[in-house]
Amino acid sequence: MSTGTMVSSRLYTPLSRALPRQIISRPAQIGSRLPRTRTARFYSSKKESKDQFIIWRPWLRLSIGIPFIGALIYSMATENATQTEAPSIAEIDKALKEKAPITDDSPMRLRMEKLIKEHQKKITDELSRIDGKAFQADTWTRPNGGGGISCVLQDGNVFEKAGVNISIVYGELPRPAIERMRADHKSFVGANVDSLNFFAAGLSLVLHPHNPHAPTVHLNYRYFETSDPKDPINGDKNWWFGGGTDLTPSYLYPEDCKHFHQTIKDVCDRHDSTYYPRFKAWCDKYFYIPHRGEARGIGGIFFDDLDANFLQSSLSSSQNPQETLFSFVSDALGSFLPSYVPILERRKDMPFTPEQKQWQQLRRGRYVEFNLVYDRGTSFGLRTPNARVESILMSLPRTASWVYMDPVSGTRTDASAAAAAVLAEETGEQTEEISRQMEMMDVLKHPRQWV
């Protein structure tokens, strides 16, 4: 056995497939033995041609250098060209995390992962304190990289169902998915590729309290990135932030609505005075149920596709758009507990009647309708290969009801005061209760400016 063959048999491993995709041409006239001095000169020489080896960042040289050398020697010894592939972004991120802690200089993927993990713990700790029951934490992984932590509290003292999930997903977008995303993301690149690598990280929560006077709340903040699988480090990339938060009460308490919106507006204004009015209107438009002709709740903020192009259309100017938007998302996520907990504390122990509980169940039915029919996040999650369905459907309430032609919330109903009096007489319910339900319906059909 020749020296080249002996070395290659020890070093040529499947790890060499995690390398830059490039054909390594065999040198002319190499014999069966590989002179040591010539090998050293070959590796240390610099070539400026297109055929030079792609040298990835220093943190990858050690982890993949040996398989790379093995592949090269194997090519020389067998006189055949060997093709190697670029490391995936999942492999790159794994190597980074093993090498050093995540800092402000780390890729945005890792910084977003760190952010959502920190806030998941902070939020679940506070909600557990309020409820008196701990969340069940379920850690899961994906075959192609990434995973998440689903924290769920069911049948608690305050919450009928509460979920606070994080997910870090690596995968591949096939051509049909690229075309679908292009419709929503105007700056999307990759027109001439068959597939793109993608990374998605986000924190999503939905809280459904027992008490019908305590509102349901939803939050989601996320980061999405795509890259060329042939060159994930230096190739063309897309990135954007998305997210928002919104409140869904069964009964209208204007002071709660004002507090929720004011807390969000204060955060938005610290970054850009145009954010709140734009994102509030976006939220009212997004969380709308067309077949019912009503909103899901009293709104909040919603945004998507926040990237460098977005900043050009706002009052903000930034030398580092990604950093600017990450700062905003961080502050928005940090404002959740101050925006919701005071409302929850005021309402969670209020007395309620069976009729009020039934009204809450009807409103939750609307929540289910929106999430399963219109929500883009739910749709994307369920279309993702190897999706964790239990985590995706965590947002659905524990219980919900549908009543045929409900006199208040059914289609083609009259929301006038006179109708309320007639309904109260027909149903035996108090006029005040019917009026409160109609007051809620009026806001859902005609969104208000709360601050």
Give CA angle at 43 (39, 45), nearest 5°.
115
Q: Which residue has the tokens 């959740």?
A: 336
Q: Residue 233's pLDDT is what?
A: 75
Q: Residue 248's pLDDT is what?
A: 99
- Sign of the dihedral through C-alpha 272, 273, 279, 280: positive
Q: Residue 166's pLDDT is what?
A: 97
Render the burial of 106-136: b for 16+ CB within 10 Å, e for the rest.
Answer: bbbbbbbbbbbbebbeebbeebbebbebebe
What gap in Å lies between CA 204 and CA 34, rounded to an integer?
57
24: left (phi over 0), alpha (psi -120 to 50) or beta: beta
Distances (CA, A) of 256 to 243, 265, 357, 450: 21, 14, 19, 10
What gap in Å lies between CA 292 and CA 302, rounded to an integer?
21
245: left (phi over 0), alpha (psi -120 to 50) or beta: beta
- Sign of the dihedral through C-alpha 426, 428, 432, 438: negative
DSSP sequence for 15-82: GGGGS--EEEPPPTT--SS--HHHHHHHHH----STTSPP---HHHHHHHHHHHHHHHHHHHHHT--E
Q: Residue 8's pLDDT is what?
A: 40
In the set 208, 213, 218, 261, the catalytic residue is 218
Write down all domains in the chain, each with its CATH number in brackets. Answer: 3-87 (no CATH), 92-395 (3.40.1500.10)
Closest by CA to 280, choosing from 448, 417, 403, is 448
Closest by CA to 32, choosing from 92, 91, 76, 70, is 76
Residue 58's CB: how many other CB atoms inside 10 A? Answer: 8
pLDDT digits (tens, 9 = 90+) for 255-296: 999 999 999 999 999 999 999 999 999 999 999 999 999 999
What gap in Å lies between CA 167 and CA 147, rounded to an integer?
6
pTM score over 0.85: no
Question: Rounded to a whole number, what is the distance in angstroms from the first to the last CA of the chain?
Answer: 81
Render the burial of 192-201: b for 16+ CB within 10 Å, e for the rest.
Answer: ebeebbbbbb
Closest by CA to 251, choosing from 100, 421, 440, is 440
Q: Where are the beta strands (DSSP E) in 69-215?
A: 82-84, 136-141, 146-154, 159-174, 195-209
pLDDT < 70 stretches in the chain: 1-85, 183-192, 314-317, 412-429
Active site residue 218: yes
pLDDT digits (tens, 9 = 90+) for 46-84: 444 444 434 444 444 444 343 433 433 334 344 444 445
